Structure 1
Amino acid sequence: MSIEVGSVVEGVVTGITNFGAFVELPEGKTGLVHISEVADVYVKDVHDFLQEKDKVRVKVLTVDERGKIGLSIKQVQEKKSEEHAAAGSPSVRSPHPARGPRDFRKGNRFNHSNASFEDKLSRFLKDSDERLTDLRRKTDSKRGGRGSRRSD
């Protein structure tokens, strides 16, 4: 089976970098899944989605004249979710199937099921105000304080 653009193949993750993951393909070839092609959500760290020795299905995006192979996991997942939608079964997206879906919000502070809507809203407004104040403080210090302008 030769590696051709557009084909979907199975491979094994052999290395993870800050810009993507290397996947060993059939015939001993290695390709790169760029960080932007790992998942259809924002990926800050590839380790959140993949580990070395994981078996993955990838789509071949490019093969250049030097033999570099560009791969995508995201495009294979999109096809699966379209098939599930067509079959009527719900699609649950998980960064890593063995771990289940992750909640990246710190402490999950807004999901208090027994709290009333007003309590949740006031907690949200307070947190939002704190974040804005913190952001203003940081940006003002970088500009040299409020109202200061550079003279030309």
Structure 2
Amino acid sequence: MAGHKTDVGAKYAVPEGSVYLSGNQALVRLPIEQAKRDAALNRNTAGFISGYRGSPLGHLDQDFKAVEPLLKEIDTSSAAGELIFHVFGSIAHFERRLIAERTKDGIAAARAKGKLPGRRPLGPEKASAALKLVEAGVSPTEAARQLGLGRATIYREMALAGVRRTA
């Protein structure tokens, strides 16, 4: 399938059909679509978008900045626009909380069935092999590569066993 180049604003200007957007990109497209509808009905409306540090909408302001030329025609100073974007923010926050609750419930259900969440612990034979390689002068990075482990895993096992890296 041959790829084709599109500009940043292309995904926001597609009038019909499917467009793949991230959650933030969908929130960016909403005021653009609303402005088009309002202009078609000869309405003069506005929107206000706000966020806070640590918001689940993390990079929304950067996404809006990227499509600033498309948003120039949208007045973002009215109470109605502010309300709409606070509602969108609230929905995004609600969605994030639902995901967290479902994840927590899924982990609890798995534990009830006797399954442990997360990665399986490192087997003693792999830990022993990693330590032997390091003690033989192989760098922890190389030992990790040879055994298919992460470097942090090798260093953690070295610390647990009291093994120091030889220079």
Common fold: TM-score over 0.5: no
Q: Which has the higher strand share?
A: 1
Please indicate the TM-score interval, normalised by the length of the shorter structure.
under 0.3
Please give the TM-score of this superposition, normalised by the length of structure 2.
0.26
Q: Which has the higher helix share?
A: 2
